[in-house]
Structure 1
Amino acid sequence: VLVISMMSVLNSVSAVFLSQGQYGILKMLGYSALGVSFLAELSGFHNLSSFVLSGFIITLLSVYILWSLLAFSETTMNWINSSTNIASIKIRNVLNFTRDTGKPKLALYQLFIDAVLWIVFVSVLFRIWDPTGTVIGTLSSYATEGIPMGDIRIVPTNIIAGIIAFAILSGITGWIKSWMDRRWLRQITSDRGARDALVTIVGYTGFTISLLVGLSIGGINITGLAVVAGALSVGIGFGLQSIANNFISGIILLFERPIKAGDFVSVGDVEGYVKKISIRATEIETLDNQDMLIPNSELISGRVTNWVLHNPYGRLIIKIGVSYGSDVEKVKTILESLSSEHDQVITDSRASPPKALFMGFGDSSLNFELRVRILDIKKRYDVLSDLNFEINHQFSKEGIVIPFPQRDIHIKESSDKK
């Protein structure tokens, strides 16, 4: 009767949890266990029947608990990521992400929780179906004493401990980086580039220490890495030369700081703001909101224009042509006066005042250049547009014509004389 009842329960559970047909092997194993228990009872093997049936019941209960905890874990992570509850907001602040943007970070926590739940579940299964502990003892022996492979012995517990140590130290390094930037560096300097450089160096140092500690705990002889380093040097000489070049260039950029985060730079035909200097490449956001990755070696060996290296000041040159016969003195006065009224144009002693220069006589116009110094070179396109609008307005108001290229064609008639 109990076996038939368990078959009914198994069928109901399968209809709920295996509605899409997946994990059919589990359903088959369940029916097989119940069938073995039933046949053992009919054959007189009461202890075997009782052992199989009790194991099946406990296993079914364990599966239900595991499923409930996994579902609860997923629901909790979604709640932390998207809820407007005060508690979820505080958790997001501690984990340093905003609403609906933390799935990648929460996925790591969920992976850890799911792994722990599955490990506990597997250990429970061993306790149920291996009451003598033979299998567990054998596995424990291999895990602690290691598995011999030739001249070496691989110890799984040491490897797992090394991975855990590396993960914990890496997490501590990330927390230190965040704490330094938030609580210390912002109080010392307002230069974002300097803060990013220090935080990046601390991150590289922490990662190196975490890796060495993890390898040491994992049973890898650190002194033996010298052989690996020698092999890598050969690889660098052939295939990894550009990667090593970019890495060294990134270190130079962080220490020498010819460019830093927030600077407005021009690299070849790429122009934009430096967002981040990483180990291999520098991320630049263009004026079209495109993120360009420039290899660090190009920033060291190539020609780079940093518009704000020492100060944000910059110069604009606006070329203007007026028609022949225009009052050039009046043109000069208009250009210098209207540019001096712009709030971004420097008119004090910090730089030379706006100046209009008569550059020469063109084919169709008298050529002028208006040269001004502005407070923030990042706004040069806005200032250029404002000045062009104002120049066009003032010239139209004063009757000064901006000519376009033109040609006079003279047709000469001639008669053929016979």
Structure 2
Amino acid sequence: MLRILFLVFITTFSSLSFAMQEVPDVTAIQDFASLVRWGGVLFSVLIIACTWLLLRFIDSIVDSVSTQFVQYRMLLQKAQSFLQFFIYITAGIVVFMISFRINDHILALIGGTLAVSVGFALKDLAASFIAGLTVMIDRPFQVGDRVTFEGNYGDIITIGLRSVRMRTLNDDIITIPNNKFLNEVTVSGNYGALDMQVVIPFFIGMDQDIDLARNLIQEAASSSRYIHLPKPVVVLVKQTITENYLAIQLTCKAYVVDTGYEKLFETDITLRVMKEFKKNGITPPRIAVSSQPA
């Protein structure tokens, strides 16, 4: 956002300078100088620096409090996103108001400058900005959601005016332009909630005890330390046929207490089920290997 403020600021001054060069007389120079509040320009630089420091301070406070109070992490991240948006808009308006004397001439120059900038140099940036407003209003996802987008899977950490940042499960930070979300499908696993459904498939042979296997999976999921018990644990059964084997697929659908524990929850249930399957003699499906004629 600070780059946006600098870009608009510099573009405006360039247009004013261009207008001054067309009529290089004393009157034009005086008119140009009368439009700019030079004291305000220096103060604007200070405001931009203070805005940057304020945003960094807010980031550090939210990170610190979220670590201490995990139950408020989602709320704090959402509040941070809206607060940053408000600070961006406020800082931009203040910088503009204190740097220029508003009259018909300056409004005409600024309007022409913005029209050209949006049409050419700032076309993609303006599209991302508008898309950012659309994302904020339409809310296809929220800060803290675990989202799948274009093959990427992770948590939304910030929603900005130009882009959205996602932290993947490999701890990579992905920056996605906002206009990408207008035409692509986004899947949110929890949509603002702290808990999320986790789907874990298991496969056993056709000759195994299906009821026993289903009960073992149900018990393993219900006794996990990461389970969100207010929501049900469901184990679905279906027959799966592939090219070379026939099997029973048991799909466990359970809710993890926090999206941050998704993979630990999945690992915990898988290890428990495999241990119980081995203890009770439940085996995986046998793959039929067809013999080739000599």
- TM-score (norm: length of structure 2): 0.72
| C-alpha distance in structure 2 between counterparts of 1:231 and 1:342, whole Å | 61
Cα drift, residue 358 of structure 1: 3.7
Aligned residues, how many?
256
Task: String of CA shifts for 1:31-50, please: whole Å, max 9, x gaps.
Answer: xxxxxxxxxxxxxxxxxxxx
2:132 is the alignment partner of 1:250: yes
Tell me which residue corresponds to 2:44: 166
Which has more strand, going by share of residues? 2
Which has more helix, going by share of residues? 1
- Match 1:364 to one of 245, 251, 255: 245
| C-alpha distance in structure 1 between counterparts of 2:129 and 2:77, whole Å | 22
- Contact 1:246–1:296 (8 Å) recurs in 2: yes
| C-alpha distance in structure 1 between counterparts of 2:286 and 2:107, whole Å | 72
Rate the CA distance shift 1:232–1:379 in 2: closer, same or farther, 3 A.
same
- TM-score (norm: length of structure 1): 0.52
Rate the CA distance shift 1:165–1:249 in 2: closer, same or farther, 3 A.
same
CA RMSD of aligned residues (A): 3.5
Larger radius of gyration: 1
2:228 is the alignment partner of 1:329: no
Cα drift, residue 247 of structure 1: 0.7
Tell me which residue corresponds to 2:191: 309
Rate the CA distance shift 1:400–1:190 in 2: closer, same or farther, 3 A.
closer
| C-alpha distance in structure 2 between counterparts of 1:231 and 1:207, whole Å | 16
Tell me which residue corresponds to 2:254: 373
User: Structure 1 vs Structure 2: percent identity of aligned residues?
Assistant: 17
Whose relative contact order is higher, 1 or 2, with alpha carbons under 8 Å and at least 6 apart?
Answer: 2
Cα drift, residue 246 of structure 1: 0.5
Q: Which runs of 5+ in 2 are unaligned?
A: 1-22, 66-71
- Contact 2:226–2:265 (8 Å) recurs in 1: yes
What pairs up with 1:84-103 in 2 under 5 angstroms? none
- Contact 1:166–1:213 (8 Å) recurs in 2: yes
- Match 1:351 to one of 231, 244, 254: 231
Q: Which runs of 5+ in 1 are unaligned?
A: 1-147, 413-418
| C-alpha distance in structure 2 between counterparts of 1:410 and 1:294, whole Å | 51
| C-alpha distance in structure 2 between counterparts of 1:231 and 1:336, whole Å | 65
- Contact 1:324–1:364 (8 Å) recurs in 2: no
Task: String of CA shifts for 1:139-197, please: whole Å, max 9, x gaps.
Answer: xxxxxxxxx942422659x66423212123435656776899979xx9x9944213321
Rate the CA distance shift 1:155–1:241 in 2: closer, same or farther, 3 A.
closer
Q: Which 10-residue stretch deviates more, 289-298 or 195-204?
A: 195-204
2:176 is the alignment partner of 1:290: no
